[in-house]
Amino acid sequence: MHWIIAVCLALIAPLAAALDLQGHRGARGLAPENTLAGFARALAVGVTTLELDIAVTRDDVLVISHDPALNPDITRGPDGQFLAARGPVIRQIAFDELSRYDVGRLKPGTNYAGRYPEQKPIDGSRIPRLSELFALVRKSGNEQVRFAIETKLTPTAPDETLAPEPFARAVVAAIRDAGMASRSTILSFDWRTLAVVQKIAPEIPTVYLTAQQQWLDNVAAGRPEGSAWTAGVQFNQHGSVPRMVKAAGGRIWSSFFGDLDAAKVGEAHTLGLQVLAWTVNEPRQIARMLDLGVDGIVSDRPDLVREEMKRRGLPLPAATPVAP
């Protein structure tokens, strides 16, 4: 009996050590999202992975931005004033023009600002190139931190971004050029890019993002016509999201945390999938996800995730402060 217990503990220990703490858009709850300052803040807190989003400019520069167009809630023009409405589509402007905008502060009075009261503004922050993030991490000396790189495109607005195949090829090329293939994953709600990555870069893991909410539903479980997001892999053919991910060739499923329960996590693990939960920011939510046994947590507040990890005796990622 004692040897059985010992074997079980030996199997459990690596799983605990493998918890993936991802700083969402850097550390959005603490510093401006998707900026070098924000990623530096996440490195200073100590995370396993830096999560980020990619857009591509008119002159084919890969930049780090969640939105395909400039977001007025976080963007000021060269005149120092917040944009009055949705700004230019990044794909339609050159990098030099994009660099004139400041994304270092939340617009006061917006719902967005109200959600992140602890975010400290860093005026003068610009939308960075992906290559600048790789350089920042090299400067930090952190040789373990990983990159979760999201291709930000949608089948509902095809003219606002590169098409799925050239988008995927551009991201793969940038990762390989930087020598970061062994430290990167590519993720997307639009699974078409993931299918391309699996063909051209099998050494880079793909991560299948899902949400089944009113504000975003890329699964379309209740729609007879299925989803345009999932590269032809439909819920009505497989009966569950984990089975969809498995059928698509995925090994990592990243779900909105509100969609997860013990049965879904258990099914995914039975299928050999890792499960990530996003975006988990409140202490009680963090605790619940850890209780469910997820393999990773994506959070705007990695500092709060670390507090719960410490309370449970889980290993903590190294902190590597660096000046942006």
pLDDT at 14: 40
Q: What is the mean pLDDT of the chain?
A: 95
Q: Is the pLDDT of residue 12 over 80?
A: no
Is residue 91 one of the residues assigned to a domain? no
pLDDT at 1: 39
Q: Is the pLDDT of residue 304 over 50?
A: yes
Is residue 216 one of the residues assigned to a domain? yes
Q: What is the CATH number of the domain that holds 269?
A: 3.20.20.190
Domain count, the chain: 1
Is residue 131 one of the residues assigned to a domain? yes
Is residue 79 one of the residues assigned to a domain? no
What share of the chain has pLDDT > 70, as a percent?
A: 95
pLDDT at 185: 98
Is residue 77 one of the residues assigned to a domain? no
Q: Is the pLDDT of residue 323 over 90?
A: yes
Is residue 140 one of the residues assigned to a domain? yes
Whole-model pTM? 0.94
CA distances from 203 to 185, 199, 237 (A): 9, 10, 28
Is residue 104 one of the residues assigned to a domain? no
Query: Binning pLDDT at 50, 70 and 90, where does residue 18 land?
Result: confident
Q: Domain of 133?
A: 19-69+126-311
Q: Is the pLDDT of residue 123 over 60?
A: yes
Q: What is the mean pLDDT of residues 129-147?
A: 98
Is residue 35 one of the residues assigned to a domain? yes
